[in-house]
Amino acid sequence: MASPFARKAPGTDPDESRLKVSEPKSSAAGASAVGISMKMAVDQMGIGRTARTLLKVNQTKGFDCQGCAWPDPDPEHRHSAEFCENGAKAVAEEATQRRVGAEFFAAHSVDDLADRTDYWLGQQGRLTQPMVKRPGSRHYLPIGWDEAYALIAEHLNGLGSPNEALFYTSGRTSNEAAFAYQLFVRAFGTNNLPDCSNMCHESSGVALNETIGIGKGSVSLLDIYDADLIVITGQNPGTNHPRMLTALETAKRRGAKIIAVNPLREAGLVNFRNPQKVRGLLGKGQDLADLHLPIRVNGDLALWQAIGALLVEWDALDHEFIEQHTVGFEAWAQHVRELDWDRVLEATGLTREQIESAAAMFRDSSKTITCWAMGITQHRNAVATIKEFVNVSLAQGNIGKPGAGLCPVRGHSNVQGDRTMGIWSGRRHPSSTRCRRSSASTRPASPVTPRCTPSRHCGTARPRCSSPSAATSWRRRRTPM
């Protein structure tokens, strides 16, 4: 039975003509975030369901929030309300009491739905049964489960080749479901398994695999707390990963410095008003970023090569780490020594003084973490840029020790779990080999690895977008079995 406090789905889209552009805010979260979160949740779930559901978000006996992939603190350090405004909104749309039945699709044709915004569609509610669009029909129609399965099987078996099918999923999938799904797909005979990572952090996976040998971040939440310097580039934590602000607040109170690299100054990195604390609700909150670099869009590669050049010039390097754990350093160092500073300043839109201020913070830090997200990964030269993050990190020995490393911040709560379970279009995933042995299925050739396209604003003195060795690589020592 629906709660009397839950509101019905909106009949129309918000009137965007009423939107007003105001002055940028100087802080994020606080009491207003609590109020907005509760309103959104109660509108969709009602009071009782809101309380029961939100108190289970990110709890050991609850469920992971689908709002983002920011990690959870250890159980003994979690709050009862271990979620943010974004998480409350995401959970509300999942646990909503609004329902979309056959009558909804009878009232709205495919053409009508195509003209609606994603917001309006998401607000309507959850499906109550399978629906199908028959040939020639302009409406989705109800279909039974058995008939739906039979229809899917009929179309799959009618293909000329299994490789004509494509099986998409996202990080919203549990490990168990993802594992079973990819086994089914490979048993069917293909590895056409794109997922949300292909559209967000694929470049991170490529760059990190080619440099440190693993396509994941190298830090934990505890490392964030212990860092001397945290660099946030191409990421808006207050907008997309609000719970990260709590970790940054902890790091800041322990003495960390923060650099924000972003064309726009984000309110959340200016000042965070933690709604879990009295000073966040009633006080001044916590200032976060010590330095904001308003970089020109896609000027990041030039910036990081310039930082590397200054660190080489100042000899602010970890020579022991470089000697023992890296290869290709001399080629990279020679490359950044020849940097064309006029092109760097043009590409970044920054002054040399701003870049030197940032580089000095790297120099003075013994434990640096670099965080990035879609503002980096969506550029054509993203792989080269991320390799430059690795170059600078390795040159200063900032991998493999507490409080330092690389942190690609994911957007879906289980996108990494998807890959680990085999949701991947590559041909060498272990489950793919096992599946082939058991089912004699065929697999398509390995997809071409994306190549970096040099930008004319890459900021280097030569017509290439990275050093001859692409990146200084982490040389790992083999341990005898």
Residue 142, φ and ψ in degrees, nearest 5: -65, 150
Confidence of residue 427 (pLDDT cuts 50, 70, 90): low
For residue 7, give the DSSP letter: P
* Domain identity same for 79 and 128: no
CA–CA distance, 189 with 354 (Å, rounded to integer): 54
In a domain, 276, yes or no: yes
In a domain, 191, yes or no: no
Name the average pLDDT for the chain.
86
* Domain identity same for 251 and 348: yes
User: Which residues, in sequence order, are CB contacts of 51 under 8 Å at separation 6+?
Assistant: none
In a domain, 325, yes or no: yes
For residue 232, give the DSSP letter: E
192 touches 159 (CB < 8 A): no
Give the model confidence (pLDDT) of 238-261 as tens digits.
888 899 999 999 999 999 999 999
* Domain identity same for 39 and 145: no
* Domain identity same for 224 and 303: yes
Whether pLDDT at 469 is above 70: no
**Start-end of H helices in 167-230:** 175-188, 202-211, 221-226
* SS3 (DSSP) at 103: helix
For residue 157, give the DSSP letter: H
User: Which residues, in sequence order, are CB contacts of 369 under 8 Å at separation 6+?
Assistant: 219, 223, 224, 227, 229, 230, 231, 398, 403, 404, 405, 406, 407
In a domain, 365, yes or no: yes
- 328-331: Cβ within 8 A, 24+ apart: 328/467, 328/469, 328/471, 328/472, 328/473, 329/394, 329/395, 329/472, 331/467, 331/468, 331/469
CA–CA distance, 475 with 326 (Å, rounded to integer): 5
* Domain identity same for 90 and 106: no
* Domain identity same for 32 and 154: no
Give the model confidence (pLDDT) of 359-387 as tens digits.
999 999 999 999 999 999 999 999 999 99
Query: What CATH code is carried by the domain that includes residue 238?
Result: 3.40.228.10
In a domain, 402, yes or no: yes
CA–CA distance, 97 with 85 (Å, rounded to integer): 19
* Domain identity same for 287 and 141: no
In a domain, 445, yes or no: no
Confidence of residue 110 (pLDDT cuts 50, 70, 90): very high
The amino acid at residue 227 is A
77 against 438, higher pLDDT? 77
DSSP string, 369-396: EEEE-HHHHTSTTHHHHHHHHHHHHHHT
Whether pLDDT at 448 is above 50: no
Structural domain tally of the chain? 3
Whether pLDDT at 287 is above 90: yes
* Domain identity same for 58 and 135: no
Closest listed residue to residue 276, CA positions, set 77, 60, 82: 82
* Domain identity same for 141 and 285: no
405 touches 399 (CB < 8 A): yes
**Beta bridge pairs of residue 49:** none
Confidence of residue 465 (pLDDT cuts 50, 70, 90): very low
In a domain, 439, yes or no: no
* Domain identity same for 211 and 150: no
The pLDDT > 70 percentage for the chain reads 87
**Which tokens in the block code for residue 27?**
């802080």
* Domain identity same for 148 and 225: no
pLDDT, position 428: 52
The pLDDT > 90 percentage for the chain reads 62
- With vertex at residue 309, the alpha carbon angle to CA 303 and CA 315, rounded to the nearest 5 degrees, is 135
pLDDT, position 83: 87
* Domain identity same for 106 and 86: no
In a domain, 212, yes or no: yes
Residue 127, φ and ψ in degrees, nearest 5: -65, 145
Query: Residue 58 belongs to what domain range?
Result: 25-94
85 against 155, higher pLDDT? 155
For 139, other C-beta atoms within 10 Å of its C-beta total 17
Q: What is the pTM of this model?
A: 0.84
